[in-house]
Structure 1
Amino acid sequence: MAREVTDSDGITWSCIQAFAGLGKDAEKTEAARVDGSRNRFHVVCTPSGGAKSVRVELPGDWEKGLSDEALLRAIHEELARQP
C-alpha cells in the first residue's frame, strides 16, 4: 500500500516499500529488507511533477508508525546526498 505525504514546496510524494508489487511472500519481503537490519526496509518515494524518485531506509512500521514529518525528513536528507 502506498503512502502519500506533501512537503512545504507542495510536492506530493508517493512512497511504497520496494518490491511491494511483486507479492507478499517472505522472499519478496526479505528482498526489501536493509542488509544487516532486522527491522529496516527500502522504501521508494516518487514525487509529483516528474522529479527523480528516491530510495530511503525506514523502520518496518513506517506506513503507520512514522510521522509525516519524519518521512519527509528522510526523503529530503536522501535528496541532499544525491548529486
Structure 2
Amino acid sequence: MKQREVTDSHNTTWTCVQAYAGLEGKVAEKAAKLAETDEGLVPVVCTPSGGAQTVRLELQSNWLDDLSDEELQNAIAEAQ
C-alpha cells in the first residue's frame, strides 16, 4: 500500500493513503473504480501523529505522485 507523509506547520505528521489501497487484486480495482468520481477525484484518508483528528479528502487520482507537499498540507488544513 502506497502512502505519503507530510508535516504541517504545527509539527504534526500526517500519513495519507487512498481509501481501499490495502485491498488486492480484482476487488481492489473494482473498489477504486467505484470510489472515483466523474471528475476523477478519489477518497484519501490522512491520519495525524498527534492529537488532531483524521481527515478525509477528495483529491485528483494522481495525488500520490503529482500533488506537492504544500498542496497536500493545504488540503488537510482546509478539511480540518
Q: What TM bracket, shorter-length normalisation?
A: 0.7 to 0.9
Paired AA for residue 14 in structure 1 = T
Query: Which is helix-richer, 1 or 2?
Result: 1
Return closer, same or farther for 1:75/1:23 CA change in 2, 3 Å cut-off.
same
The runs of 5 or more residues in structure 1 that have no matched partner are: none
Conservation of the 8 A alpha-carbon contact between 1:45 and 1:53: yes
TM-score by length of 2: 0.86
Higher relative contact order (CA 8 A, sep 6+): 2
Q: Which runs of 4+ in 1 moved over 3 A?
A: none
The runs of 5 or more residues in structure 2 that have no matched partner are: none
Conservation of the 8 A alpha-carbon contact between 1:18 and 1:43: yes
Paired AA for residue 16 in structure 2 = C
Q: How big is the alpha-carbon RMSD for the aligned residues of Structure 1 and Structure 2?
A: 1.4
How many residues get paired?
77
